[in-house]
A and B are shown apart, each in its own frame.
Chain A
Amino acid sequence: DAGVTQSPTHLIKTRGQQVTLRCSPKSGHDTVSWYQQALGQGPQFIFQYYEEEERQRGNFPDRFSGHQFPNYSSELNVNALLLGDSALYLCASSLSWGGDEQYFGPGTRLTVT
C-alpha cells in the first residue's frame, strides 16, 4: 500500500518564476491538503482539496493556487516566487471527514534564489 508521494524532492527557482509541485494521496484517501513549513517552524496550512474543489484555505496570497484531479492527485502552483517562499512543502491526504488523521508525504524542498 503506497503512502503519500510527492515530486520533485528538491527544486531551485529564481525570484519571479513559477513552480508546480505534485502529490499523490494514500490509497483510499480522497482529500488532499497542502502545508508550508519554514525552517524551524511548524507546518502552516495552505489549502485543502476535496472533490476537485478547494474546500478551505489558510492565510496565503492568491499566488498560491492548486488543483485536484479526478484520481484525487493534486498540484500546488506558486506564481511570482519570492525569497520568502523558500520552504518545505508538505502534502497530506486523508478521508473527507474533518477529524481523520492526515498522512504526510516526504515533502518538496523549494529554494528560491
Chain B
Amino acid sequence: AQKVTQAQTEISVVEKEDVTLDCVYETRDTTYYLFWYKQPPSGELVFLIRRNSFDEQNEISGRYSWNFQKSTSSFNFTITASQVVDSAVYFCALTNDYKLSFGAGTTVTVRA
C-alpha cells in the first residue's frame, strides 16, 4: 500500500518569503517515483517536478527546489521568493506502477 502525508493544511506568507512544503510517504517498493503538482484556482493540476527513488540528488529549477531523503521518506518542496501567482494548492504524489497516490494537499496563500 502507498500513502502520502502532507501535514500542513494551509500556509500563508508575504510576497518574497520562502515557502517549504512537507511531504512524507510510505511504500514497500524499492522503485518508485515522487511528484509535486500545483492546482491553481482554475482547477487544472500542473506538473512541477518528478524524482525517482534512485536519485537523491537535490536540485534547483528556477525558484523551485526539492529535498528528497529516502532515510526519512520525505520529499519536501521549496518555493524561493514567493509571488502572488504561486497561490495554489500543492499536492505531493507517489507512484510505483501506474496510479498516482496523492496527499491531501497544502493550500499556499501569498499576500502582496
B64 contacts partner chain A, Cβ-Cβ < 8 Å:
no
Q: Contact at B100–A45, with CB atoms within 8 Å? A: yes
B-facing residues in A8-53 (Cβ within 8 Å) = 31, 33, 35, 41-45, 48
| Contact size range, B | 20 to 34
The residue that A48 contacts in the complex, of B91, B99, B103, with Cβ under 8 A, is: B99
Q: Bound complex: CA of A44 vs CA of B4, how far in Å?
A: 12
Interface residues, chain A, with chain B CB atoms under 8 Å away: 31, 33, 35, 41-45, 48, 55-56, 58, 88, 90, 92, 98-99, 101-107, 109
Report whether B98 and A48 are in contact in the complex, using a CB–CB cutoff of 8 Å.
yes
- Among residues of B, the one whose C-beta sits closest to the C-beta of A41 is B104
Are A106 and B91 touching (Cβ within 8 A)?
no
| Residue positions of B touching A, CB distance < 8 A | 4, 33, 35, 37, 42-47, 50, 52, 91, 93, 95-105
Provide the residues of chain B in CB contact with A105, threshold 8 Å.
44
